Chain A
């Protein structure tokens, strides 16, 4: 492992020498809109770019996740996966054209996840520049339908249908450089829709207001006593509703997530909220529906798992301080299938999910060196003897 780590600072300079190519890939990928469920055009660009760099195989799986494979030297070692989600939160009507300044790239979706995907398609050329060959096949996958209602369908399908064992995985996110995610909380993402009949009937002397009904639901959720152990929380993340200022709202909706490092606790909180929704619906005599949009199970590597330790060592060698937290991304699906995996960030930036999101160019080389260091660590066998608990 020391042998690998000592090479990393030297890698940064070599990666810097192909910076133009990396930024070109980031921009060409990023300026192709890819809202969740409509990733087809970006998938084509992804495939074109991978084909340009002459990966050994370039194809899509049965779910249309684009995949490139860099063949390894060993016939027997399982593959290593490197993945980045293709979809963004922005619709195709949003301006996706990026602006490059002296040390920054700005535009919608740059952090989440054009940088991650651009780096992913650049990896074959970077491996070539660094003269790297791996024992394992390296599977480069741009996964679709990851965000929101996508519910990580792309990665779920890819792993479900992958025929052979997987040695380990690295998930790439544009930001933030220094993140080291190795555990995923259990999560249920829900929506409550309130609809009030437009027709006057005997039930209501006064028409209820859909926004106020949802407000009552929020108030009751806020009254729930959530434990600190297992660590649990409910995040109220989205609301919408109403027509105009002077009119009672007939429709409103509320989006929230229940997160906990215990699946049991997630389920228990979900049941409490279900009761709240049913009770409010009954009391206010309105149509209130609770929908589950997605869910993931809690899963984790231990901090002393060799992949986590090696990843931390790689980062420290590059003068990065590892910062850990739960991640609900592709990582959770790898971990739930007992495949050792970590999520790493490539660079620093600001305005994450806004149209003027911006990333720094200079740290990208270090971010990539870190990803390569972790791939090399997995290829050297750090995950081979340690199955997940």
Chain B
């Protein structure tokens, strides 16, 4: 196992706080950069994210070329507010409208590839309460400054010791520690060096994203890591400590459903790679129980992780971006 990766490819956002240097290097490499915010009812936080990024990374330092919001059909004022603060706003269903329609974060991320112009795309969750422009320039730093890095993931402050005297933040939330890390340890020990594989903030080159499939729901982060690892290896990855991130907490039941979807994705990937074979079909329902008037009643959630193929296989995309399949 290549354990030197974590030493070489782990950064702190402050290493990239010289924004003039990032602008110079971006211009020298003639890069376009897009920020994509997938949304569903985020009226409390969306304006702040757009406004701060626009002020700091478009007006003051021309690092971002566009801010795009792809919305899953919010019923609050998310789209109106986002448009008011100057983002390009799309409803996911209106992008490539002839395709079968799905609803989920992965769907928004995949469709964003069609409407954004950037060579690099930064994906940021839209529910970050303590938003700061470091969330974007921290992710962009390794991509702009190091030619071998093609995909960067965020991690946040959870202290753990590495090496003899080094303390670094690491560790993930409950789903990471109870589901993903055991799976990675069992099947892909190298990937355990990615400290928070489920973090919703990451950035990468278009050439990476357009060549991988996107599950439409919770599994998108896991599948992205597995697919990029399989195609390009660990050396194209980097991870950046973005300090603290405050967002909404999810209850244990919701995390259970999330884990179910992630396991589905993981097993599907293992099967595709020929690493495992299952004799029987897997079920696609997550069953949770409630105690109602002294009776246990099941809550059954059908979780089918539909998956979009690599967008480069889509003729309209190839036409628009002049790509050959």
The interface of chain A, by Cβ under 8 A from chain B, is 20-21, 23-24, 27-28, 31, 95, 97-102
In the complex, which range does the number of interface residues on chain B fall in? 20 to 34
Smallest CB separation, A53 vs chain B (Å): 9
B48 touches A27 (CB 8 A): yes
A20 touches B54 (CB 8 A): yes
Question: Restricting to B83-133, which residues have a CB under 8 Å from any CB of A?
Answer: 84-85, 129-130, 132
Can you sample 30 A-B contacts with CB below 8 Å? A20-B51, A20-B55, A21-B60, A23-B51, A23-B55, A24-B51, A24-B55, A24-B56, A27-B48, A27-B51, A27-B52, A28-B52, A28-B132, A31-B130, A95-B129, A97-B129, A97-B130, A97-B246, A98-B48, A99-B44, A99-B45, A100-B47, A100-B48, A100-B85, A101-B43, A101-B77, A102-B47, A102-B80, A102-B81, A102-B84
A101 and B51 in contact, given A21-B59, A28-B132, A31-B130 (Cβ under 8 angstroms)? no
Which residues of B have CB within 8 Å of A21?
A: 55, 59-60
The 6 closest A-B pairs by CB, nearest first: A97-B129, A100-B47, A20-B55, A24-B55, A99-B44, A100-B48
Smallest CB separation, B22 vs chain A (Å): 15
B59 touches A101 (CB 8 A): no
* Cα-based distance from A101 to B50 in the complex (angstroms): 12
Q: Which residue on A lies nearest to B80, using beta carbons?
A: A102
Which residues of B have CB within 8 Å of A24?
A: 51-52, 55-56
* Cα-based distance from A95 to B132 in the complex (angstroms): 16
Which residues of A have CB within 8 Å of B43?
A: 101
* Cα-based distance from A23 to B52 in the complex (angstroms): 8
Which residues of A have CB within 8 Å of B246?
A: 97
Which residues of A have CB within 8 Å of B48?
A: 27, 98-100
Smallest CB separation, A106 vs chain B (Å): 9
A101 touches B81 (CB 8 A): yes
The interface of chain B, by Cβ under 8 A from chain A, is 43-45, 47-48, 51-52, 54-56, 59-60, 77, 80-81, 84-85, 129-130, 132, 246
The secondary-structure label for the interface of chain B is helix
Q: Which residue on B lies nearest to A106, using beta carbons?
A: B44
Which residues of A have CB within 8 Å of B85?
A: 100
Which residues of B have CB within 8 Å of A100?
A: 47-48, 51, 85
Which residues of A have CB within 8 Å of B132?
A: 28
Q: Which residue on B lies nearest to A95, using beta carbons?
A: B129
* Cα-based distance from A87 to B224 in the complex (angstroms): 45
Smallest CB separation, B89 vs chain A (Å): 14
Q: Which residue on A lies nearest to B49, using beta carbons?
A: A100
* Cα-based distance from A95 to B130 in the complex (angstroms): 10
* Cα-based distance from A20 to B59 in the complex (angstroms): 9
Which residues of A have CB within 8 Å of B51?
A: 20, 23-24, 27, 100
Which residues of A have CB within 8 Å of B52?
A: 24, 27-28
Smallest CB separation, B42 vs chain A (Å): 11
Q: Which residue on A lies nearest to B246, using beta carbons?
A: A97
Which residues of A have CB within 8 Å of B81?
A: 101-102
Residue of B47, B80, B129, B130 with highest tally of chain A CB at under 10 A:
B47
Known: A27-B48, A97-B246, A102-B47. 8 other contacts (CB 8 A): A21-B55, A23-B55, A24-B51, A24-B52, A24-B55, A99-B44, A101-B47, A101-B81
* Cα-based distance from A99 to B246 in the complex (angstroms): 13
Which residues of B have CB within 8 Å of A20?
A: 51, 54-55, 59
Which residues of B have CB within 8 Å of A95?
A: 129
Which residues of A have CB within 8 Å of B56?
A: 24
* Cα-based distance from A102 to B51 in the complex (angstroms): 11
* Cα-based distance from A24 to B60 in the complex (angstroms): 12
Which residues of B have CB within 8 Å of A31?
A: 130
Residue of A20, A23, A97, A99 with highest tally of chain B CB at under 10 A:
A20
Which residues of B have CB within 8 Å of A27?
A: 48, 51-52
* Cα-based distance from A101 to B59 in the complex (angstroms): 21
Q: Which residue on A lies nearest to B81, using beta carbons?
A: A102
Smallest CB separation, A243 vs chain B (Å): 32
Which residues of B have CB within 8 Å of A28?
A: 52, 132
Smallest CB separation, B187 vs chain A (Å): 38
Which residues of A have CB within 8 Å of B44?
A: 99
Smallest CB separation, B16 vs chain A (Å): 15
Which residues of A have CB within 8 Å of B45?
A: 99
Smallest CB separation, B138 vs chain A (Å): 15
Q: Which residue on B lies nearest to A23, using beta carbons?
A: B51
* Cα-based distance from A99 to B56 in the complex (angstroms): 18
* Cα-based distance from A27 to B54 in the complex (angstroms): 14
Which residues of A have CB within 8 Å of B84?
A: 102
Q: Which residue on A lies nearest to B133, using beta carbons?
A: A24
* Cα-based distance from A2 to B43 in the complex (angstroms): 44
* Cα-based distance from A28 to B132 in the complex (angstroms): 7
Q: Which residue on A lies nearest to B247, using beta carbons?
A: A97
* Cα-based distance from A95 to B129 in the complex (angstroms): 10
Q: Which residue on B lies nearest to A53, using beta carbons?
A: B60
Q: Which residue on B lies nearest to A125, using beta carbons?
A: B60
Which residues of A have CB within 8 Å of B59?
A: 20-21
Smallest CB separation, A116 vs chain B (Å): 19
* Cα-based distance from A31 to B131 in the complex (angstroms): 9
* Cα-based distance from A21 to B58 in the complex (angstroms): 11
Which residues of B have CB within 8 Å of A102?
A: 47, 77, 80-81, 84
Which residues of B have CB within 8 Å of A97?
A: 129-130, 246
Q: Which residue on B lies nearest to A97, using beta carbons?
A: B129
Q: Which residue on B lies nearest to A32, using beta carbons?
A: B130
